[in-house]
Chains A and B, each alone.
Chain A
Amino acid sequence: MRVFSIGLVISGIHLSMPLLFAAYGGLVSERSGVINIALEGMMLFGAFLGVAVTFWTGSPWLGLAAGVGLGILLGALHGLLSITVRADQIVSATAINLLALGVTAALIPTIWGQPGVSPTVARIPPVVLPGLSDLPLVGEIFAELSILDYVGFLMVPVAFYVLYRTPLGLRLRACGEVPEAAASTGVDVIRTRYLAVLTSGALAALGGVYLSLVQVGLFQRGMTQGRGFIALAAMIFGKWRPLPILAASLLLGFADAFQFRAQAVGLPLPHDLLLALPYLVALVALATFIGRATAPGAIGKPYVKD
């Protein structure tokens, strides 16, 4: 087994996808003016409920739906706290993150009778597209892609189109830049921000579901391992813009894949250093990130109607 191979590409895509979903969740929320550092908690909850429901029903599709549904609920909670009650958006999100870590860990033994990890459940299978999987070289990649991978890649142009080419996108961005100006033209800032935060919760949870139901088929305590924050880094490094965020997610996902494979192959590098690689890449990406002014103008500021 070599480090650089088709396997790296497959694993890179698989590891990028959760980041991409969560980062787009962050994008949608923050472009509307609501900071969402709860991506991590939303992912973890999504991953957890996805596995639990699959365990109970035997259907990963129901698990997927449940996980995403929970993400929407969490988005509603974040919205309620940060939009309606106008609590500090960081505090509200941190509460969700802490809740996710504690609640999911506590429920593992109650549901499965064992601490730390669930039993293996059915995974979301790859879609076999006849023809594509038979292609030389890239066929191997297509054979490994699930419907969620296609959804993920399709999400990029869709998000771009909605954000920049539709009234909804224009309004959403207006709410994130100068909500007062948006309101003065009749845009319902509160409703728009809620819509964005709900979508954000759904996408982040989808990232979590991908992690548990596409990649491994089980839930492990704290299994997101900070990927929600890495996604946040991808969003910032991508300057809150859809295409650069795709690039940043791929970069960080592939760094992770490289790390895994380097360990498997036994590259003569310290184990800990390899483990830290994706985080180091994220750190370097953020440190070299120039032009902080690209954040939406009203980000983090509650909107108060006067």
Chain B
Amino acid sequence: MRPGRQLAVLGFIFVVLYLLVFFSGGASGGWKDRLEPRLGLDLIGGTRLTLEATNTVDGKPPTSANLEEARQIIENRVNAYGVAEAEVVTEGNRNIVISLPGQNRDLTNVGEAAELRFRKVLKATDGSGAAAAPAPSASATPAPSGSATPAPSGSVTPAPSGSAAPKATASPSAGGQGGMAPTPSASAAAPTPSASPSAAAPSPSASAEPVPQSIEQQRKAIEQKVGAAAWAAASGLQAPADLTADPSLADKLKPFGTLSPQEIAVLPVGMQFNVPTITCQQLDNRPAASIKDENQQAVACESGAKYLLDKAKVLGTDVDDANAVLDQTSSWVVSLNFTGKGQEKWTALTREAFNNEGQACDQTALGQDGKCRVAVVLDNEIVSSPEIQGVLTGDSQITGSFDNKSANALASQLRYGALPVTFEPQEQQNVTATLGDSHLKAGLLAAGIGMLLVIIYSFFYYRLLGSVIFLSLVLSALLVFGALVVLGRSIGFTLTLAGIAGMIVSLGVAADSFVIYFERLKDEIREGRSPRSAVPRAWVRARRTIISANAITLMSAVVLYIVSVGAVKGFAFALGLATVLDLVVVFLFRHPIMTMFARTRAFLSPRVSGLGRALPARSAEPGAARNPRVKEA
């Protein structure tokens, strides 16, 4: 009847939950794998980093749209580490949390400010590390993913004839940065690629600013690592070495291929570019912000081609906005607006590129139309390197073979450069697998001990009724476990040590609702009701108290979950989940089972039920008179 129906509902919930556990989407592997909840990094080992984002303009939390864009960038950066299963999520209104399960590595650099730079492409070479000589034509072709054309509105025809006048405005800047270039007038395609730029290429490290001491030391260490011969050979290179022509050189330079990205990052720019054994893979994995210095030339890669890039003359902060739009021909383009000052710089840069002034770009780096290209460099990589098709004085468009997705991706990357957000690493945790395992076992042990204590107490105090508590707790535990597995798969809930603590605390909540109910039952029996009639009455009254009390716990869990950061979230979620499931068990298990229990004779026996001690107070009550000896209490 009724109790039976409630138990049936509970059974139904169980069946559905465990069907989900075993057969829902994402369930795979053997039975054991399917039963595994998602464990947090502090339990299985791994790295977690919390970054706090701050709006650079006003120091307030960034807008949610900005935060989401920032999250995507961070995700891209983490993925660039070649890490599988990295998880990057936003938390609260200003945190980004990166989790790398099972891996122990330093992540604090991913929070380095994203550096968007516009740099003229000076030279190109093959970056695959193959011994083949860089074919100039081959290196140029993969690159032109797009080419900048003046936007229709701003199509102030940048005619070559007009180059005389602009030259005046452009020259100061060109002179300023190209000062050490011996041939500022290398406007034509330089016949000898090595001649003019080679002098400039190594120069930033030599003559620009004094190299910081630590970098000098690191270079020394690398010199020792690769061997003096290799170092000397690399330093002597004036242009990308042709290894097919000189096999012995290939042998000498081989050690460079084994350097770590961090080591590559401290090498002189010329060396990074000229040594063919330094691959794009190494370059792409350099620590974030390795090439952020705008006053230094840099080396970066795009689609396997290695580019030597000029100093950055336009920065990400000069970008006002970037959007993916459809142009008149219904092809996707990325429109680009600059800030007032940024526009001036951009015009100067495009003029320089269009006319090939200043630091000359090499023949290898020219676009299809024979014009210089400007690379859009985000962090260590080139996101796009359009050929400049005019002196751009207004809004610009990057055209190319974009589709909706790639145009939006580029626009978002461009915008990100303008994103006024900085990151500060707040908390980083590296947990080794053994330490994580130890945490997990300790947590489970604590849960076991807590449960055992509660069960011992309830058997001691409520005798046979303790078995109802015991069964309910087991049921709760099974429900919680199933929910953990399912939620881990469906919404990505991970169980952390704090979460286990939340579960343990919720044991108290679960047991409390029993105490309330049983004490009520005692009251009713003491007031002279037979157990059979006392059970429903006590239930009605206790239900009210239990619901209010659990509602309070639930409120605290929900509020905590919404506002809190860090481990608190997992704790609050676990506490809330367990409290809700406790209510389910209270309504669908304990009440019906007590109703059924009340019909048995054993229920009346004080020794058995633990309620009997309430009876002798009423000597008039026949039920109590049967057991006068329970006086001892």
Pair from one complex: no
